[in-house]
């Protein structure tokens, strides 16, 4: 099947992209409103795109009825957020944070997640998250009904048990993030495997001397 995106209706683009560009990491994004109230929402249109500067991107669209999401309103007001990588122990809380609550509801307390203020930003940092990246909005690319937020990571918190012995690399036994597939389907990184690239020189030699 080939789909022409120049004519494809918006809801079909969403269906195809969210079904087939998968799995996508889920970031639980925390922000504060102008009065300091905490907010949390999961976002799977999310990833890291550069390390120097360290940039993550988040795609946020308005609600189907046209209302701006609290996360978006808070980002416009404060320019600060924390992006948390989600694992299984946080999965149910993440789903609670994804429900449509009015702005005055603090999803973190509702979901039973404890947090503290960031080291470098005012955005909440969830205590139990395996990874939390404090970010400042570097730029917003806006379209009607949606925006891509580029956030510069200013501080990264990693739960100590997520490191393998030696403290440099992730421990596949303890750092097992979840990612979103389509609709209500998710996958957890609990079947990790190593894959080493074949020897380049051997391949080049083979390519030069076909048998």
Give the residues lining the site for ligand FMN (CB under 6 A).
Answer: 26, 39, 41-45, 59-61, 69-71, 95, 98-100, 180
What is the helix (H) or strand (E) element at residue 12, kind and residue range?
helix 10-20
Minimum CB distance to ligand FMN, residue 4 (Å): 24
Q: Which is nearer to ligand FMN, 190 or 205 (CB)?
A: 190
Q: Which is nearer to ligand FMN, 150 or 171 (CB)?
A: 150
Contact criterion met (CB below 8 Å) for 13 and 22: no
Q: Which is nearer to ligand FMN, 18 or 174 (CB)?
A: 18
Minimum CB distance to ligand FMN, residue 14 (Å): 10
Q: Which is nearer to ligand FMN, 77 or 203 (CB)?
A: 77
Minimum CB distance to ligand FMN, residue 211 (Å): 50
Minimum CB distance to ligand FMN, residue 166 (Å): 32
Q: Which residue has the tokens 């509702």?
A: 110
Ramachandran class of 36: left when φ > 0, alpha when ψ lies in -120 to 50, beta otherwise = left
Query: Residues 87, 93, 99, 102: is their CA dihedral positive or negative?
Result: negative
Task: Return the HEC string of 41-106.
Answer: EEECCEEEEEECCEEEEEEEECCCCCCCCHHHHHHHHHCEEEEEECEHHHHHHHHHHCCCCCCCCC
Q: Is 174 helix (H, G, I), strand (E, B) or coil?
A: coil
Q: Which is nearer to ligand FMN, 26 or 135 (CB)?
A: 26
Minimum CB distance to ligand FMN, residue 91 (Å): 9
């Amino acid at each position: 099947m080939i789909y022409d995106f120049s004519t494809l209706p918006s809801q079909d683009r969403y269906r195809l992209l969210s079904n087939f560009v998968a799995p996508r990491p889920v970031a639980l994004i925390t922000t504060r409103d102008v009065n300091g109230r905490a907010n949390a929402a999961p976002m799977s249109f999310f990833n890291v795109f550069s390390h120097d500067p360290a940039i993550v991107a988040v795609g946020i669209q308005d609600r189907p009825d046209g209302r701006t999401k609290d996360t978006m309103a808070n980002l416009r007001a404060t320019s600060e957020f924390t992006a948390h990588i989600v694992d299984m122990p946080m999965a149910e809380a993440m789903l609670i944070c994804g429900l449509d609550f009015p702005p005055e509801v603090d999803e973190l307390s509702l979901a039973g997640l404890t947090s503290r203020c960031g080291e470098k930003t005012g955005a909440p940092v969830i205590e139990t998250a395996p990874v939390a990246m404090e970010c400042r909005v570097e730029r917003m690319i806006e379209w009607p009904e949606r925006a891509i937020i580029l956030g510069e990571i200013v501080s990264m918190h990693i739960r100590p048990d997520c490191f393998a012995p030696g403290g440099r690399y992730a421990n596949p036994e303890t750092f097992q993030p979840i990612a979103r597939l389509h609709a209500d389907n998710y996958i957890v990184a609990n079947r990790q495997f190593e894959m080493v690239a074949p020897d380049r020189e051997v391949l080049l030699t083979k390519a030069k001397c076909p048998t």
